[in-house]
Amino acid sequence: LTDDAGTLIDALRARLAELDDLGRVGGLLGWDQQTMMPPGGGPARGEAMATLERITHERATDPALGELLAELADGGGGGGDHEAALVRVARRDYDRARRVPTELAGEMALAASEAQPAWLEARERNDFAIFAPFLERNVELRKRYADCFPESEHPYDALLDRFEPDATTAQIRDVFARLSTGLVPLIEVIAAGPAPPELPGPFAIEAQRELALELARAIGYADDAWRMDDAVHPFASSVARTDIRVTTRFASDSLTGLFATMHEVGHGLYEHATDPALDRTTLGTGVSMGIHESQSRLWENCVGRSLTWWRHWYPRAQDLFPDALGDFPLEYFHRAINVVRPTLIRVEADEATYSLHVILRFELELALIEGTVAIVDLPEAWNARMKELLGVDVPDDRQGVLQDIHWAFGELGYFPTYALGNVVAAQLWKAAREALPDLDDRLAAGDCAPLRDWLRENVHRHGRALMPAEIIERATGGPLDPQPFLDYLEAKYRPLYRL
Amino acid sequence: LTDDAGTLIDALRARLAELDDLGRVGGLLGWDQQTMMPPGGGPARGEAMATLERITHERATDPALGELLAELADGGGGGGDHEAALVRVARRDYDRARRVPTELAGEMALAASEAQPAWLEARERNDFAIFAPFLERNVELRKRYADCFPESEHPYDALLDRFEPDATTAQIRDVFARLSTGLVPLIEVIAAGPAPPELPGPFAIEAQRELALELARAIGYADDAWRMDDAVHPFASSVARTDIRVTTRFASDSLTGLFATMHEVGHGLYEHATDPALDRTTLGTGVSMGIHESQSRLWENCVGRSLTWWRHWYPRAQDLFPDALGDFPLEYFHRAINVVRPTLIRVEADEATYSLHVILRFELELALIEGTVAIVDLPEAWNARMKELLGVDVPDDRQGVLQDIHWAFGELGYFPTYALGNVVAAQLWKAAREALPDLDDRLAAGDCAPLRDWLRENVHRHGRALMPAEIIERATGGPLDPQPFLDYLEAKYRPLYRL
């Protein structure tokens, strides 16, 4: 490395450190908004976040950054692995940010903020027509966004890329086709079978909180670098690699809060275990929403809904909830937390049906971008496809096309990553089990260290230094593939439902 | 207002809104650091705060802002009261910020961050020599800072101005001389008298928290725009006018947490009651540390340690602490919360002796800046003056010159504002009582609205649109004056201590 290149890379690092700091500060504002802020703080918080985003965008698209990256690309960079990745990722971010005119970004933000109250009102009144013009505007702006990337094979690729870098519409379409082909008959046969036992209750909130914290600590939550709070919609946020905030929500009539906790701790663990060398580089964070969701789903479902896991934890749960679970056998509990039923609402869907909810949204987003479904026809298209995929009748738009906030935010391209999470989680789970022959025994003994270490080594530490496809390829020896997820579900449900 | 001037003022407002947002975001980072952040988040938080400060300083000293202000000063501005104030205050801020070279600001920040661990170690080891070179460096940099304002009558004026705009060393010296002349004999005569009754205990923390919240709500805390948390060193922070965060700390062997709460709610109320028209202008906040402290002291002491206040609240306290206070008469309680005793530690000092601790620090800071006391002689000077002012012997530097963190931060010029707070609180208290003849009756009925409204009208709403001296003049009809504080203490302690 020449002195010049050293100076250039230092200059790049300084700019990335600033961008990273600004991003983390924005994250803290969001976390605070959803956990701590008194309601009166809302309008001012919106202004402060917009200011921060504007400054961040200004710095992220500063032509001087572009010049620096160009010099580094001309042979200036190229030290260790990380430095090459730094230049590559920073250049990708810069190029993509520069493609989108500031005015368009502003219009997108404005349209999204105007659409949200309209969506809320439409949902409340069960009247899609109220939301339709705002959705139309969001879709139109997303098309203009896609136009900024004319080299894409499909305009939807540009939308996908914001959440899943390098993913293509063709690839997702293929994976989702294989996924629904496998899922639809599996779900049908389960749904036709006998009803699983219902989980008794109630479950005192404070005891749930205690157990949730114990599960979290077993997975990797550490008191000196994490915190856990309540939020209406649970999420995880990385204020820093050593300042991880997970949120959860408990209800006394179910244990969903425990699974939400394991889910969010899975997200948190990814952020917590990135390579410290990537701190303050913008690369020390999850590489995509799909890979992120694989980490949450793996802990929530592959681990958290397994018989193995509860072999260790169920006695503790029975201690904490003696009235509800004292006489309820472990095997019943395992079936009760693995109910599969086609239902209307995505966020309440089980592990098997969930992906079909996502596939439906992906298909409709594509249709909107391709113009093959008009906004006005969207509710009907939704309902028809729900019937085909899940066999359910949608009674009203509130429980159908109006249920999610994502389209009010204009976030097309986001939904697919939820199903990718399931797919990748199963691929990683398979690979980890092959690599760690005693994994089940260790989990059954309450020891998460082997799995945690494997995930750190194969996924977490890379941050954004590897692309999602590289992570999957290196960790599993193959490309994105829905088969392990289908195999995993079969292997789990066949004995459980005596299929 | 011409169209041009309108455009100019809009451009100024946009820049001030950004600066205001950045300042509030920095405030939230600080609040979070002291209340919520897991310890692991510390180093990253330091970096994020430094980044935010650097960006803020860059924007606050942007030459384009200077040009805008120059155009507005040339007759462009001049709409309503607020617009004139906007231009005037923004110009003052800009001019002062531009005076200080970026390198000097950086050196000051660096020296302060290096001095803090040295101060901690020195205090722990009770060894002033460890801290001395770092303090020397801080003082030297403060002198260079003062040199940036050569028009000042005294170099210390420039340091004062950062916390108390337009205050002068000559003025403070005069006020403090009159203050200590009155305080020293009063304290001597009280100290020679009989010991007041001791407050019984213990006081359950949760009951204290409940009472603290009730007191806070009576003063003006509202659940939809405030929150209250625990912090090691209580403080108040305004994330927005409608997002006020107060912190407090309770110990089971005393009720100091209640007084800390009233103190911080006093600060919060000032921020909460600024004119909404000043939102996002950088003027919608307290004008100086002295005026701010007057608001906290007024509620903590003038109200919170009065017999009147406890006539209403003592029965409630007795309900909450029946074992400790059930048989302890109100008059005893009133004397127990008004103990006056010369002691060693400023932060534990009572209402009467507190100002003498401050005066000592002011004198020593002046001596350091004037070069009449060498750093090496500082402990001795401290101890000698403690003996003169308070009659106490300082057993070691830990309980003497090393007790406060302020000098480790390099914050010379800050201490005087604590005593100004006492002085101004008494002036405002006197004026409010004259203006509101039934004030005592209302407070004795638990009704704070008349006092709160008077303070809003005369102090709070102005934010930074009036200078401290203007606020005092308009509200009290005269200049800064220590006599009302001395009169207030005399009137309170004479009957209490049967002097």
Chain A hits for B44, Cβ within 8 Å = 24, 239-243, 279-280
pLDDT per residue as tens, chain B (499 positions): 455 778 999 999 999 999 999 999 999 999 999 999 999 999 999 999 999 999 999 999 999 999 999 999 876 555 567 899 999 999 999 999 999 998 999 899 889 989 999 999 999 999 999 999 999 999 999 999 999 999 999 999 999 999 999 999 999 999 999 999 999 999 999 988 888 899 999 999 999 999 999 999 999 999 999 999 999 999 999 999 999 999 999 999 999 999 999 999 999 999 999 999 999 999 999 999 999 999 999 999 999 999 999 999 999 999 999 999 999 999 999 999 999 999 999 999 999 999 999 999 999 999 999 999 999 999 999 999 999 999 999 999 999 999 999 999 999 999 999 999 999 999 999 999 999 999 999 999 999 999 999 999 999 999 999 999 999 999 999 999 999 999 999 999 998 888 7
Q: Which of A22, A31, A47 to mutate to test the interface with B (most CBs of B within 10 A)?
A: A47
Phi, psi of A273 (to 5 degrees): -105, 15
The β-bridge relationship of strands B243-248 and B236-240 is antiparallel
Which residue, B393, B391, B409, B401, is CA-closest to B361? Answer: B401
Whether residue B44 and residue A240 make contact (CB cut-off 8 A), yes or no, is yes
The reported pLDDT for the residue numbered B1 is: 46
**ipTM score of complex:** 0.93
- The neighbour count for residue A305, using CB atoms within 10 Å, is 17
pLDDT at B497: 85
Q: Which residue has the tokens 């309503």?
A: B80
Across the interface, do B241 and A25 touch by the CB < 8 Å criterion?
no
Residue with tokens 């309900």: B319
What confidence score (pLDDT) does residue A14 get?
97
Angle between helices A289-297 and A256-272 (to 10 degrees): 130
Check CB contact under 8 Å for B227 and A36: yes
Q: Do A22 and B242 count as a contact with CB atoms less than 8 A apart?
A: no
Using the Cα atoms of residue A349, residue A350, residue A352 and residue A355 in order, give the sign of their dihedral: positive
The total number of residues shown for chain B amounts to 499
Catalytic residue among B214, B264, B363, B365: B264
In B, minimum Cα distance to A229 occurs at: B36
CB contact under 8 A, B226 and A38: yes
SS3 content of chain B, % helix, strand, coil (to 5): 70, 5, 30
Q: pTM of the prediction?
A: 0.94
Task: Specify the 3-state DSSP secondary structure of B238.
Answer: strand
Are the C-beta atoms of residues B337 and B300 closer than 8 Å to each other? no
With contact defined as beta carbons under 8 Å apart, do A266 and A224 qualify?
no
Q: Other C-beta atoms within 10 Å of B197: how many?
A: 15
Q: What is the CA radius of gyration of chain A?
A: 23
> For this structure, is A264 an active site residue?
yes
Predicted confidence band at A1 (pLDDT cuts at 50, 70, 90)? very low
Q: How far is Cα B139 from Cα B369, in angstroms, rounded to an integer?
A: 7
* Number of neighbouring beta carbons within 10 Å of residue A449: 10
Model confidence at A499, in pLDDT bands (50, 70, 90)?
confident
Partners of A21 on chain B (C-beta within 8 Å) are 47-48, 51-52
pLDDT tens column, A398-425: 999 999 999 999 999 999 999 999 999 9
| Cα-based angle A387, A391, A395 (whole degrees, multiple of 5) | 60
Quote the pLDDT of residue B75: 63
> Which residues lie across from A230 on neighbouring strands?
A248
What gap in Å lies between CA A296 and CA B379, rounded to an integer? 58
* d(CA B265, nearest CA chain A) in Å: 16
Q: Mapping DSSP to helix (H, G, I), strand (E, B) and coil, where does residue A115 land? A: helix
pLDDT at residue B74 in the model: 75
**For residue A81, is pLDDT > 80?**
no
Which residues are CB-contacts of A479 (< 8 A; sequence separation ≥ 6)?
A469, A472, A473
Cβ neighbours of A51 in B, within 8 Å: 17-18, 21-22, 25
CB contact under 8 A, A36 and B38: no
